[in-house]
Structure 1
Amino acid sequence: MLGASEASEASGAPGAPGATGAPGVPGTGLGRPADWAELLRISALFTVPGDALAGAAAVGLHPNRRTLTALCASLCLYEAGMALNDWADREEDAVERPHRPLPSGRIAPAAALTAAGALTVAGLGLAARAGRPALTAATALAGTVWAYDLHLKHTPAGPAAMATARGLDLLLGATATWGPGSRNRSRNWNWNRGSARGAGPVTGVRAALPASALLAAHTLAVTAVSRREAQGGSSAIPLGALAATVVLGAVVGRGPERGPAAALGLPAALTAHRSAPQLLGAAYIATAARPLLHAALNPSPQLTQRAVGGGIRAMIPLQAALAARAGSLGTALATAALAPLARRLARKVSAT
């Protein structure tokens, strides 16, 4: 899979840089902006900012400049994974999804691989600007993304690897926000002074672990469903994902949750209105549950793909619910505001 199909490229078959049988830039394989938007699945980009924002809320802090830097790093690494995914799957997609940008010849495989590498370097460079702990999290995230796309995707470890990537993305936002000079919104609490129990980066990671685990659990369920989106034929997996969605929605709806931060001696977060986590948890369930139920009743490829798309969009209300559960109502509302944008763009560019 790592080696390109030289024979098909030489013959001008779909997927070759010189293929001209599909829309694009004839003879170059560079593609148009619309082709790259499809390759990179830009409608799914709106699910990324909430990782960093939920991570900031989990450590009891307002989003700051380092949070924004981590968010940009996450966007780069996410898109690197999208480009690498299609590069690794180009031969499989030539059979199952010949309309995709690479097998159709609109974008050359070499261009997609180059984009994946460049976006990875950019993401790590941005993470480094947010501090060493953030760079450590970003490096682990990038390694997980590349391992998943190049090898783990088609193994039993695939869903767990993807879940790990989402969890690490939230931790990237947490470690970046909880950095040198961070001040808690309740009182001045400086990284350098810390507390009697210590306030280093490990403390921030520990505070964010519950939220990271919940987001990873949702990702695990969606990824398990996505493994059958091209073939369909399984009711058990969408049913399992539906059950997981209901449980996760109930858990995040219990907020506000101040226990993990308080147990670690972190300053108290602002108290969100109790109904916010419940409403956002319900929105999360509503977004993911209906297409999952349809896929369980009729596990066709089309309905399974819709279930995956619904699960991807459900990331946003879940992230918002996690922020509200941590006591950050403003961050929760800002995250939730991304949902209509994601839904609108998904009508033009598929998220799967």
Structure 2
Amino acid sequence: MSATATLPVRRLPEPAAMLRLIKPITWFPPMWAYLCGVVSSGVSPSGQWLMVVLGLLLAGPIVCGMSQAANDWCDRHVDAINEPDRPIPSGRIPGRWGLWIALAMSVLSVLVGYQLGPWGFGATILGVAAAWAYSAEPVRLKRSGWWGPGLVGLCYEGLPWFTGAAVLAAGSPAWPVVLIAALYAIGAHGIMTLNDFKALEGDRATGVNSLPVTLGPDRAARVACAIMTAPQMIVIALLFSWGKPLHGAAIAALLLAQFAAMRVLLRDPKGRAPWYNGTGVTLYVAGMMIAAFALRGLGT
């Protein structure tokens, strides 16, 4: 046999690669936000546990997993530069299988979302549409360092929170719930900007104008920190004004800890961004749940 003989081309996806395609590590934020919505609704989940579990599966493995598959398919050329070992550019998910998986999961998302009632169904439609608008041409909002992270922040934090509250309440959530969910969704823009650091070279080469590309790593990191900070400060002020000083103080303490982590991040934004995603972001999402319990106590 010739030493230069090539391996046979794979016709079916590798199962482990299919799991990697939908990125289980990314499911936590929307599932956590959905739980925040459930808690903040002020409605007991007793008798509605099926809706809670179904919503968690929808927010995480199904819709978020679908968005990851869609993004990997639409980003396969970028990933060939940044991370050639990813499932699609490596050939472990061959041909158009990445597209078929993303489309099948889009249909599954809509079918499951329909089981959550009109509010859950509407939120699911919006989430699926946003996932494709973020990644796919001709819209491809991820080309913008402002619109792209904003859309992802909305779908990762704000929309699942709203959905969890709406499903439990069987109607539109109270305005304080919507306001707090929106503030945390805005702050998540900064988290998504930090996530863009890992794709800096590929984004620059393929015309994706992320903030690390357009502003440079140092300025982009400072902007991300400011965007993460401002909404949390507003949340703290609102909780104090709503008679929830202990909850507000707890979130303030978490924000102070984030400031310490931000100082480390800003010394080496590109190198420290993954570290911050495991430390500062954990503090951020802990504050979300504290705020959710505060809203529950408002009796809204």
Aligned equivalents of 2:30, 2:87: Cα separation in 1: 23
Equivalent runs, 1:164-243 vs 2, <5 Å: 164-166=154-156, 167-179=158-170, 201-202=171-172, 204=173, 206-231=175-200, 233-243=216-226
Aligned equivalents of 2:14, 2:280: Cα separation in 1: 29
Paired residue for 1:104? 90
Aligned equivalents of 2:182, 2:249: Cα separation in 1: 19
Structure 1: stretches of 5+ with no match in the other structure: 1-18, 180-200, 260-270, 329-352
TM-score by length of 1: 0.66
Equivalent runs, 1:107-146 vs 2, <5 Å: 107-108=93-94, 110-146=96-132
Aligned equivalents of 2:274, 2:95: Cα separation in 1: 24
Query: CA-atom RMSD, angstroms?
Result: 3.1
Contact 1:54/1:170 (8 A) holds in 2? yes
Q: What SS does the aligned partner of 1:30 have? A: coil
Change in 2 beyond 3 A, CA 1:310/1:44: farther
1:43 to 2:14 alignment: no
Query: Which residue identity does 1:161 align to in structure 2?
Result: L
C-alpha displacement at 1:290, in angstroms? 5.4
Change in 2 beyond 3 A, CA 1:243/1:32: same
Q: Deviation digits for residues 57-109 of structure 1, max 9, x if unmatched?
A: 33322333323322222121011011111111111110121122221222235
- Structure 1 runs (4+) deviating above 6 angstroms are none
Query: Which residue identity does 1:165 align to in structure 2?
Result: C
Counterpart among 143, 153, 170 of residue 142 in structure 2: 153
Which deviates more, 247-256 or 164-173? 247-256
Aligned equivalents of 2:29, 2:141: Cα separation in 1: 23
1:299 to 2:285 alignment: no
Counterpart among 68, 85, 100 of residue 82 in structure 1: 68
Contact 2:191/2:228 (8 A) holds in 1? no
Equivalent runs, 1:24-43 vs 2, <5 Å: 27-33=10-16, 35-43=17-25
Query: Which residue identity does 1:87 align to in structure 2?
Result: W
Aligned equivalents of 2:35, 2:24: Cα separation in 1: 19
Q: Kindly, what percent of the aligned residue pairs are identical?
A: 20
Q: What SS does the aligned partner of 1:48 have? A: helix
C-alpha displacement at 1:205, in angstroms? 5.8
TM-score by length of 2: 0.76
Aligned equivalents of 1:258, 1:173: Cα separation in 2: 25
Q: Deviation digits for residues 303-327 of structure 1, max 9, x if unmatched?
A: 3343345565455313312212213
Contact 1:255/1:324 (8 A) holds in 2? no
Paired residue for 2:205? none
Q: What SS does the aligned partner of 2:86 have? A: coil
Aligned equivalents of 1:174, 1:20: Cα separation in 2: 52
Structure 2: stretches of 5+ with no match in the other structure: 1-5, 201-211
Contact 1:120/1:142 (8 A) holds in 2? yes
1:162 to 2:152 alignment: yes
Aligned equivalents of 1:322, 1:48: Cα separation in 2: 16
Change in 2 beyond 3 A, CA 1:320/1:234: same
Equivalent runs, 1:195-344 vs 2, <5 Å: 201-202=171-172, 204=173, 206-231=175-200, 233-253=216-236, 259=242, 275=246, 278-279=249-250, 282-283=253-254, 286=257, 289=259, 292-300=262-270, 302-308=271-277, 310=279, 313-314=282-283, 316-327=285-296
